[in-house]
Amino acid sequence: MNSASGASPRHPSVAGQRWVEFAQIDNLRDLGGLPVLGGGTTRFGVVYRSSTLQQATAADLDRLFDTLGLRTVIDLRLPDEVEREGYGLIGEAAVTIANLPIRKSPQSSLAARDLVPDKTRVDMVDLYGQLLRGSPEHIVESVRLIIDPDRASVLFHCAAGKDRTGVLAAVLLDAVGVDHAAIAHDYALTNERMQRVRDRLDALPSYEGLPPVSTGILAVEPSVMLRFLDNIHTEYGGTAKWLLANGLSEQELDRLREVLVEP
């Protein structure tokens, strides 16, 4: 822990890089380097977003632990996804894994492939709103893991690293004041990896039958994220206020800003 700032330690070997490359993980990037309104940027080496880690190789794990300093994984997949697909090598590694599903309702146990019955025709803004409303406890618990100095660095993921991961990333970034255009740009970066993500997921039992890239559930449009954020601000006044309304304390919110923002 950095005693001067109260922030979690960074890992200089990856500082300044958004994408982190792996052999069998397709969509992993650092949440650092994004502009914060009023000054500063998000810190590198603290929080990462990713697609599924279940096919990571031994060399990938070495890079996660030695280069990224990974200590905590937040798995946003549904319990039945985890049961069917598992964790691969990382499930046996010396890392804390917290399964905190993001879903459309607290009672939902549907598979990811059933989140959207017709994957080629879906209102993504509405879906993201449902995921937010259905998962307040798990989103707040994710924040608490991220601000715990004993947990850093932290990686959160779902299957593709786009929708459930995108919702959590948006909540975190908006809560600390990241510009909406930058949040939408970060969300849209998944387009650079979506063909690889789609090919990998379509070969797995839980996700086979996915539509082509840029179609329906696999579309990644920055306007979707901007509209989702606009809706949150219209309805709740922003994700910081949403987090406070769902149990996060003012002190925890301040801690999130300390951890994620570099002046």
Work out the average pLDDT over 225-229.
98
Angle, helices 222-236/164-175, rounded to nearest 10 degrees: 50
Tokens (6 digits) for 50: 């990713």
- pLDDT at residue number 109: 54
Q: What is the extent of the structural domain holding 247?
A: 29-106+115-254
Residue 102 has pLDDT above 60, yes or no: yes
Residue 3 has pLDDT above 50, yes or no: no
Q: Which CATH number belongs to the domain containing residue 72 in this structure? A: 3.90.190.10
- pLDDT at residue number 218: 87
- pLDDT at residue number 210: 83
For the stretch 63-75, pLDDT in tens is 999 999 999 999 9
3-state SS record for the chain: CCCCCCCCCCCCCCCCCCECCCCCCCCCEECCCCEECCCCEECCCCEEEECCCCCCCHHHHHHHHHHCCCCEEEECCCHHHHHHHCCHHHHHCCCEEEECCCCCCCCCCCCHHHHCCCCCCCCHHHHHHHHHHHCHHHHHHHHHHHHCCCCCCEEEECCCCCCHHHHHHHHHHHHCCECHHHHHHHHHHHHHCHHHHHHHHHCCCCCCCCCCCCCHHHCCCHHHHHHHHHHHHHHHCCHHHHHHHCCCCHHHHHHHHHHHEEC
Work out the average pLDDT over 141-159.
97
Percent of the chain with pLDDT over 70: 88
Work out the average pLDDT over 220-226.
96
Domain membership of residue 14 (yes or no) is no
Greater model confidence, 74 or 107: 74
Residue 4 pLDDT level (bands cut at 50, 70, 90):
very low
Domain membership of residue 128 (yes or no) is yes
- pLDDT at residue number 88: 96
CA distance 36 to 198: 32
For the stretch 191-217, pLDDT in tens is 999 999 999 998 888 888 888 888 878
Domain membership of residue 12 (yes or no) is no
Mean pLDDT rounded to a whole number for the chain: 89
For the stretch 87-101, pLDDT in tens is 999 999 999 999 999
Domain membership of residue 2 (yes or no) is no
CA distance 93 to 73: 11
Structural contact between residues 47 and 7, judged by C-beta atoms closer than 8 angstroms: no
For the stretch 34-51, pLDDT in tens is 999 999 999 999 999 999
Domain membership of residue 46 (yes or no) is yes
What is the tally of structural domains in the chain?
1
Tokens (6 digits) for 80: 């039945």
Domain membership of residue 206 (yes or no) is yes
Residue 183 has pLDDT above 50, yes or no: yes
Domain membership of residue 22 (yes or no) is no
Buried b (16+ CB within 10 A) or exposed e, 132-171: bebbbebbbbbbebbbeeebbbbbbbbbbbbbbbbbbbbb
Domain membership of residue 121 (yes or no) is yes
- pLDDT at residue number 162: 95
Q: Which of 22, 77, 40 is nearest to 257 (CA)?
A: 40
For the stretch 6-41, pLDDT in tens is 444 455 445 567 999 999 999 999 999 999 999 999
For residue 42, what are the CA distances in angstroms to 8, 20, 50, 75, 259?
12, 16, 17, 22, 9
For the stretch 247-261, pLDDT in tens is 999 999 999 999 999
